[in-house]
Amino acid sequence: MQMPILSSLVLMLAAAGAQAQSSAPLPALGADAGAVSVSGLSSGAFMAVQYQVAFSASVIGAGVVAGGPYYCAAGFLGFTPTCMGKGLLPPDAGMLLSAAQGFAAQGKIDPLSGLANDRIYVFSGTKDTVVATSAVNSTVDFFKRAGVPTANLSYVNKLPAGHALVTPNFGNSCGLNQSPYISHCTVGGHSYDQPGAILSHIYGQLQPPASSRSAQVASFNQGEFADVYTTGMPPQAYVYVPAACTSQGGCKVHVAFHGCKQSAQSVNDDFYDKSSYNSWADSNKIIVLYPQVNKSYLPFNPDGCWDWFGYTGSDYALKSGLQLKAIRAMIDRLTAPLASPAVASQ
């Protein structure tokens, strides 16, 4: 029994090394450090909330699609059903806010006052059987208690969508809860464009999405920022850089976190290339970062979920958390002074 596992690990490590060698470094592009935002689905939504709260001084907004409040599981796998709305009671937003306030007082996350001007989009589909609306309600409650003005909160919870990112031209029919966890839904005779709704809520009025993109998604060496053994983050991740952002600084940065079973390992380019994120980004000078976490057994993460319950360590929701630190380092690279040559499309 041990030999097949050992052989699998050897093969996995060999493949990881080959990926790292074939991917270019993430470039310094002189992006605007004051225009960074995040979003995600499912475990990616929990991760987006974690990043936004932990680094609230440097994040201006977040899109939370089917995700619970900050520190919901409190580092215990046994609490995850409650955080997904499967318990007798919903997550206690007041208690979780107290935990966040404690972390802030200790300097382990940014002061919560950094949330006061942030713009938050939250979504729960009425046919979502994975993360119930009761859990997502607690996310909205958490942000209100943390000082986010009601005017800055957009809560969309009437669409008959399943557990999915909703995009206009790709994926399953609206109410399904299955791979690739991307669906298309119609509202008032028009396709609902969730990436566009998220980015528009965070950044304000935007130019329409590009009908033809100026660039292609590029892979980069994520292994420079994260150790695969301790984080589950593979050596290769992805970034979309509009052509205009390769030669001039000042572009915005948006981090899009995939959900469980939704990394490139599981769904190829469905998440990072087939939604509308990149089309909106192209016409509005937004760099979109697509970090990756894979299914793994070191650490134990068989569904390829972002860490929102502690599998990478007890500090997973703090600025010192391994995955959060890696994402921050990637953003710091993108916002560093413009370097040449820029990342090459692959």
Residues designated catalytic: 42, 128, 163
Instruction: State which amino acid sits at residue 126.
Output: T
Nearest to 242 by CA among 274, 288, 203: 288
* Cα first-last separation, the chain: 39
Q: At 182, list the tokens.
A: 């991307």
Q: Taking Cα atoms as reference points, which of 125, 201, 112, 190 lies closest to residue 163?
A: 125
What are the tokens at 95? 């208690």
Residues in the chain: 346
d(CA 31, CA 12): 34
> Which tokens is 308 given?
């929102």
- Three-class SS of residue 256? strand
Q: Which of 323, 253, 293, 291 is nearest to 28 (CA)?
A: 253
Closest CA to 329 of 172, 182, 223: 223
Cis peptide bond N-terminal to 91, omega within 30: no
DSSP state of 24: B
